[in-house]
Amino acid sequence: MKIFRHLEDFVPFNNPVISIGTFDGVHIGHRTIINRLNEEAKRLNGESLLITLWPHPRLVVEKGKSSLQLLNTLDEKCKLLAKNGLQNLVILEFNYEFSRTSSEEFVTRILVETLKAKKIIIGYDHHFGRNREGSLAILRDYSPIFGFDVEETPAQQIDEINVSSTKIRNALLEGHVDQANHYLGYNYFISGKVVSGFKRGSRIGFPTANIQVNHPNKLIPKDGVYAVRMRLNENWYGGMMNIGNRPTFENAGHSLEVHLFDFDGDIYQKQVEVEFVKHLRDEQKFDGLEALQTQLAIDAEQARGILLLH
């Protein structure tokens, strides 16, 4: 996949088939659009192209007020888009000046003059331009003027429920990772660096890696214990993760800690990726370390069994 981080860097090619959107999560609904882009690009002897905005517009428009949590960092999004076969990605920096771009200017300057759109495929509810004034209807009005075709992608249905990034966020915040993973089409994951902790886990026989997430707005699932897998240096390891304040310990603070099964090594300062497979239980306070150890052994056995089935 070719990535263009500025419009000035874009190298034109024949018959671009274009879609527009934040594509946060790159869920199965987004992949329906990517598949259509690739199908039409092949038919027209062109290439697929996605225009995405970064930072997420809400983080700019609602600066200091937005509580939006992201399913993907920009690097994660690029990785997922490439994995799903997108051929070209244009990343437009979203700032206050860009937010004032009218839908007319967006179409004429970006879609037509710079990208030379042959066909535009957008989701059923997509809006663009200043105050979200641009829409499918406006694209259809411009279509005969500038010579590009327009196609609408209907809502992707799973179990008769429309998929959306918002529904996935809500599922994760409620601890329903099974549901979120079903909508995403892959296991939800976080990326981050292993940092030093208090080493309390090591003292009770369950050493943990403390994860510092790479982006402040990255969504962290509900506090609790999860069966997870962690990627380190292209190798995957099974384990269990605790998210929360570790209430059995005083003044522990909020943390994300992973205990890896059958692993022994120094991984401090390493970049890792942790994917969530299943929620095991909510976080709870135990009457002493012995009770905590007993529960952690039960959690580990349960997590191992779940990972064997996934």
The Cα 310–Cα 308 span in angstroms is: 6
Every domain of the chain and the residues it spans? 2-162, 188-309
What average pLDDT score do residues 232-258 get? 86
Query: What's the CATH fold of domain 2-162?
Result: Rossmann fold (3.40.50)
The Cα 46–Cα 67 span in angstroms is: 39
Could you give phi then psi for residue 20, rounded to 5 degrees?
-135, 135
- Each residue of 158-215: pLDDT tens digit? 555 678 899 999 999 999 999 999 999 999 999 999 998 766 656 677 889 999 998 9
Do residues 271 and 192 make contact, with C-beta atoms less than 8 angstroms apart?
A: yes
Comparing 18-22, 145-149, 160-164, 190-194, the range with the smallest average pLDDT is: 160-164
Comparing 73-77, 87-91, 262-266, the range with the smallest average pLDDT is: 262-266
247 versus 167: the higher-pLDDT residue is 167
Question: Residue 265: pLDDT band by 50, 70, 90 thresholds?
Answer: confident
- Quick check: 43 pLDDT over 90? yes
- Each residue of 26-40: pLDDT tens digit? 999 899 899 999 999
The Cα 158–Cα 135 span in angstroms is: 25
What average pLDDT score do residues 275-284 get? 96
- Quick check: 95 pLDDT over 80? yes
The Cα 128–Cα 134 span in angstroms is: 5
The pLDDT of residue 253: 78
78, containing H or E segment: helix 74-83
Q: Where in the chain does DSSP place strands (E)?
A: 2-4, 16-20, 47-54, 88-93, 119-123, 149-153, 157-158, 161-162, 189-195, 209-213, 224-232, 235-244, 255-260, 271-281
Structure tokens at 143: 């279509």
The pLDDT of residue 61: 84
Could you give phi then psi for residue 288, rounded to 5 degrees?
105, 165
Closest CA to 245 of 295, 180, 200, 213: 200
Tell how far CA 303 is from the center of its chain. 24
Do residues 241 and 256 make contact, with C-beta atoms less than 8 angstroms apart?
A: yes
Tell how far CA 280 is from the center of its chain. 22
pTM of the model: 0.92
What average pLDDT score do residues 123-150 get? 89
CATH of the domain spanning 188-309: 2.40.30.30
The pLDDT of residue 183: 96
